[in-house]
Amino acid sequence: MRHSEYSVIVIGSGAAGLYAALKLSSKITLPDGVLIITKSSFGESNSMYAQGGIVGVMHQNTGDSIKQHVADTLKAGAGLCDKNTVEYVSELSDEVINDLINCGVDFDRDKNGNINFTLEAAHSFKRILHSGGDATGKGIVTALINKIKDDKNITVAEHSIAVELLINSGNECKGVIFYNALTGEHEVAYSSATVLATGGAGQVYKYTTNPEGATGDGIALAYRAGAIIRDMEFIQFHPTALALNPKSKNRFLISEAVRGEGAKLINKYGNEFMIKYHDKRELAPRDIVTRAIYKEMQASHSDNMFLNATIIEKNKLLSRFPTIFNRCKDNGIDICSSPIPVAPAAHYTMGGIKADINGKTSISGLYAIGETASTGLHGANRLASNSLLECVVSAYELADYLSFVNLEPPQIIDSTILAKIEKYSEPISDIDYDIETLKADLKEIMWKNVGIIRAEQQLKYAINSIDKMTDEFRKGRCISIPEYEYKNMLIVSKIIAESALNRKESRGAHSRSDYPQTEQYAEHSYISYKNKMEILEYA
Ligand code: FAD
Ligand code: SIN
């Protein structure tokens, strides 16, 4: 096995990982450099596909205020946001977004050169910056990649999946084992600071806006390492994903910003229905719009509702939403003249590895930033466009924090770690698993039983099924990235289902048909893996 050493290891090349690597390299002297491990091609991530934009409470946007953004975020979070975190992120947004602009991110501007801010659901002010119309993520990721390409401190290992964190007997993280699909070998990378920037877990659901790689790996790795995982029952289902063919695997997102610009939800008879559900109609909080569409679909036995964007002026539609326009056009829909078929899809993982805004987790030397983390910004329901902001603020703060930490690679590797590494040389069985079918079965179970509306019987069925599927799968090391992903998906699915079963109330995105009430006091749920025992508790 190849062994190497770095000052910092960053796992993932989405907005959080890329920006963290860049900031680390520019703020700190790193004798052993930064290693980015990323399981696909460089930059392939959820971030790449982000459409609507990024929240910025900017000085030049007169009328908006941190107080108002904090109030909107807390309201959406349904009692589970950490107010200090929300305030901190909001306050830093101006500074960090200006830094992104200095890094080369081009936000859309009007003809006078002023930033164009837009509105999204449950925001009380136009405070969303966007890039390329509806290609904000691509704008951010591409600019960061261009910067990193010139940075000699940063090494990138593509098509390499992190598979096990190296935790010593003192509960300190000293690096990671990864599987390099280009060589077919496992490798060990040591570091005293390992950063999980591995994104969310939308792929555990049959219908999702997330690309293939969003399999919750970082959460599974951290869980297996004994880190505290929080609030995993809170999965955000986006209300409007393109629903062309009920059988199609991934659902392309129709950004909330289209509703922000005036599009209306209608049923197959052309009738609007959101007024029945909320006075803000299409711009009600995301969980409410999702459940409204879901209920309308069930009541009318339809596979989808429709989004009518034809009421938006044609030139505006074309310039604001070129990606959506083209994708729909490729599928035979002219959004200027026809309503778009839409249905909900799993979109965002609100819970994750418990971390503070510097990325610190419950394990020393292990950091988590971006969607994989649970910092307390989102609570039970994320406000649109707050997540890209969280990614970049956490990355920025992590780099500051690590400037005060000893980043020398570990001098002594203890026997606990050596025993872990040893296991990766053991022989394995040559059973051939049909991973695509196994993944599809799991996703179907999660969609039907741990989906938009949940109930005890279905949740228990899901847990039993996942246990059985886990028993039937390979133990120990795997032989490919998809095998590792499936293993992680089983772990994360179980955590989501257990957390959903345990929360006997409805709150934010977690909706129980058997417990429709919201308890007076909001409590977080925690889950961790210790001595082969799962501990699930509230506090
Ligand atoms: P990601 O961007 O998901 O990056 C994770 C990285 O980790 C990837 O490179 C992945 O390959 C890698 N990785 C994962 N596991 C491993 C492993 N085991 N080993 C090695 N590498 C690994 N949010 C907004 O704020 N505004 C928006 O407009 C918006 N639009 C969205 C549109 C879509 C279609 C989607 C899916 C999400 C959208 N979101 C939006 C949410 C937002 O994009 C994500 O929350 C955010 O980009 C997450 O960034 P990240 O860096 O944490 O993770
Ligand atoms: C969207 O553009 O609707 C997605 C925005 C987000 O998830 O924050």
pLDDT per residue as tens digits for the range 341-359? 999 999 999 999 999 999 9
* Ligand 1: residue whose CA is nearest its atom 24: 385
C-alpha 373/C-alpha 356 separation (Å) is 9
Q: Which helix (H) or strand (E) holds 507?
A: none
Read off φ and ψ for residue 49, nearest 5 degrees: -105, 5
Of all protein residues, the one whose alpha carbon is nearest to atom 47 of ligand 1 is: 47
* Distance in Å, CA 443 to ligand 2 centroid: 22
Strand partners, 36: 10, 156
Nearest 5°: phi and psi at 151?
A: -100, 110
Task: Please tell me if the CB atom of residue 12 comes closer than 6 angstroms to any atom of ligand 1.
Answer: yes
Number of helical H runs and strand E runs in the chain: 14, 21
Cβ atoms < 10 Å from Cβ of 432: 7
Size of the chain in residues: 539
| Ligand 2 contacts CB of residue 385 (under 6 A) | yes
Question: How do residues 143-184 score in pLDDT, each as one tens digit?
Answer: 999 999 999 999 999 999 999 999 999 999 999 999 999 999
Q: 15 CB less than 6 Å from ligand 1?
A: yes
Q: Is the pLDDT of residue 376 over 80?
A: yes
Average pLDDT over residues 8-21: 98
Q: Is there a contact between 216 and 374 (Cβ–Cβ < 8 Å)?
A: no
- Are 335 and 326 a contacting pair, CB within 8 Å? no
How many Cβ atoms from other residues are within 10 Å of residue 77's Cβ? Answer: 27
- Chain centroid, CA 437 distance in Å: 24
Distance in Å, CA 68 to ligand 1 centroid: 27
Q: How remote is the CA of residue 53 from the centroid of ligand 2, in Å?
A: 7
Q: Is 528 within 8 Å of 535 (Cβ atoms)?
A: yes
**Phi and psi for 276 in degrees, rounded to 5?**
-70, -20
Q: Is 387 in the pocket of ligand 2 (CB under 6 A)?
A: yes
Q: What is the reported pLDDT for 499?
A: 96
What would the mean pLDDT of 83-98 be, rounded to a whole number?
Answer: 98
Average pLDDT, the chain: 95
Secondary structure class of 430 (helix, strand, coil): coil
Helix axes 435-449 and 456-471, enclosed angle (nearest 10): 160
Give 511 Cα–ligand 2 centroid separation in angstroms: 21
pLDDT given for residue 520 in this prediction: 95
Pocket test for ligand 2, best of 256, 261, 389 (most atoms within 8 A of CB): 256
Q: What is the mean pLDDT of residues 107-118?
A: 96
Q: What is the three-state SS of 194-256?
A: EEECCCCCHHHCCCECCCCCCCCHHHHHHHHCCCCEECCCCEEEEEEEECCCCCCCECCECCH
Angle at the Cα of 397 from the Cα atoms of 395 and 402, rounded to 5 degrees: 95
Cα-to-centroid distance, 160 and ligand 1 (Å):
17
Q: Is the CB of 199 under 6 A from ligand 1?
A: yes
Q: Give me the half-sphere count of Cα atoms (radius 13 Å) on the Cβ side of residue 228.
A: 19
* Cβ proximity of 351 and 503 under 8 Å: no
At 125-141, the pLDDT tens digits run 999 999 999 999 999 99
Domains identified in the chain and CATH numbers: 238-346 (3.90.700.10), 433-538 (1.20.58.100)
Q: Is the CB of 255 under 6 A from ligand 2?
A: yes
Q: Pocket of ligand 1, candidates 215, 327, 377, 388: which has the most ligand atoms within 8 Å of its Cβ, to mutate?
A: 388
Minimum-distance ligand 1 atom for the alpha carbon of 208: 36
- Residue 118 near ligand 2, beta carbon < 6 Å: no
Does the structure show a pLDDT above 90 at 113? yes
DSSP state of 444: H
Average the pLDDT over 420-445 and give the result. 94
Is 320 considered catalytic here? Answer: no
The percent of residues in the chain predicted with pLDDT above 70, rounded, is 97
Give me the pLDDT at residue 249, please.
Answer: 67
Tokens 């009430």 found at: 517
d(CA 358, CA 399): 8
| Banded model confidence at residue 532, pLDDT cuts 50, 70, 90 | very low
What pTM did the predictor assign? 0.97
Question: How far, in Å, is the centroid of ligand 2 from the Cα of 139?
Answer: 15
pLDDT reading at 538 higher than 60: no
Calpha distance 379→234 (Å, rounded)? 8
Q: Is the pLDDT of residue 413 over 80?
A: yes
Which atom of ligand 1 is least distant from the CA of 347? 36
Nearest to 254 by CA among 202, 209, 295: 209
Which tens digit of pLDDT belongs to each residue from 473-529?
999 899 999 999 999 999 999 999 999 999 999 999 999 999 999 999 999 999 988
Q: For 219-229, what is the mean pLDDT?
A: 96
pLDDT in tens, 314-338: 999 999 999 999 999 999 999 999 9
Q: How confident is the model at residue 429 (pLDDT cuts 50, 70, 90)?
A: confident
Strands (E), 371-451: 373-374
What value does the mean pLDDT take over residues 284-305? 95
Evaluate: CB of 410 within 6 angstroms of ligand 1.
Answer: no
Q: Is 256 in the pocket of ligand 2 (CB under 6 A)?
A: yes
Return all residues near 36 (Cβ < 8 A) that are at least 6 apart. 10, 11, 12, 13, 17, 18, 21, 42, 148, 154, 155, 156, 157
Beta pairing, strands 366-368 & 352-354: unpaired
